[in-house]
Amino acid sequence: MAEHPKGLMLILSFLYLFHMPLFVFVSGAVYSYQYEMLGKRYGLKRMISTKTKRLLIPYLFFGFVVMLPLMVCCGFRESFVDYAYNGIFLSKDSRHLWFVLMLFEVFIVFWVMRKIVEIIKLPKWTLLVLSFVLMLLSSKIPYIFQLNMTAKYLFWFAIGYDFMMHKDNYKMFVLGVLFPGMILMLYLIENQHLNVRVPLFATVTALAGIMLIYTISSKMRGGNSAIGLVVKNSFGIYLIHVPIIYLMFYGFHGFSISPYLFSLIVFLISIGISIVLTIAFRRVGLKCLIGE
């Protein structure tokens, strides 16, 4: 297969400027809806218990039972012991599962921060300031147990939380950040500055991407069975699709095939099998392994 076709790299570059902040933003928005609007105000003990079932158990299962043997047996990593300890336990190389552990920690840290703000009677926007400071300091935090990534992405969780409470107040902000942010994104992609090291640029491009997706999704009307199927099984898809992709790359290694065609095949097969396996987990009574 040809390596790094330009079209695919442009799409990848565009998505990587904002896709992870977007996922955390959505998590913060959903949590805000549950906490502020539905009144589901759990204590810390219940929060830890709930997120352990939702996030930590899937992390441990897919880390040690799925990714560990896959990565070593397929030759992507050399040692079972080293990868089990450093890769999964310390989460230094947990592949896509880093997001699951990071999100678990974000929920706990945000709960504690919000409780402190409420006790001291500080305005809620203080959460945005504190989380932004942590984001700036995240590079100084050791890369272990995803602590540095928790500090890095906590800000996006706080943004999503605040956005859900004050959507009307964000309308002008959306318009103000979307246009200049998209111009900056196009500039960075065109000049191949994909690893944005300037915090201001990284923040603006991520905000622009989030606001773009929000603007598009807010204009969509009507139901779609395919989208509904993906949404219903989204977390299972996230957990399962990466191992399938690794297996397909391992199995098709050395074959001559168009990168565009191969990417389409991998996308369709990984999503399809992930949905089937997610449904199967539910039906055989193992939904706890997919966070349900």
In-domain check, residue 86: yes
**CA dist list (Å): 10 to 207, 209, 242:** 19, 15, 21
In a domain, 2, yes or no: no
Last residue of a domain, one of 162, 194, 220: 220
Asked whether residue 189 falls in the same domain as residue 241, the answer is no
For residue 223, the SS3 value is coil
Q: Could you tell me if 200 and 246 lie in one domain?
A: no
Q: Are 259 and 12 in contact (CB under 8 A)?
A: no
Residues 249-268: tens digit of each pLDDT: 887 776 777 777 888 888 89
Domain identity same for 108 and 247: no
Q: Structural domain of residue 138, as residue ranges?
A: 10-220
Verify that 47 and 172 share a domain, yes or no. Answer: yes
- Please report, as a single letter, which amino acid is at residue 287: K
The structural domain count of the chain equals 2
Could you tell me if 246 and 102 lie in one domain?
A: no
Indicate whether 192 and 230 sit together in one domain: no
Domain shared by 62 and 99, yes or no:
yes
Neighbours of 223 (CB within 10 A): 6
Q: pTM for the complete prediction?
A: 0.83
Q: Confidence class of residue 211 from pLDDT cuts 50, 70 and 90?
A: confident
DSSP letters, 7-24, are HHHHHHHHHHTTHHHHHH
Domain boundary among the residues 170, 196, 220 is at 220
Q: Per the domain annotation, does 4 fall within a domain?
A: no
Q: What is the pLDDT of residue 1?
A: 47
Q: Give the tens place of pLDDT for each residue, 155-193.
A: 999 988 988 887 777 666 665 666 666 665 666 555 555
Q: Are residues 228 and 194 in the same domain?
A: no
Q: Are residues 121 and 242 in the same domain?
A: no
Q: Does 232 lie in the same domain as 207?
A: no
Residue 30 included in any domain: yes
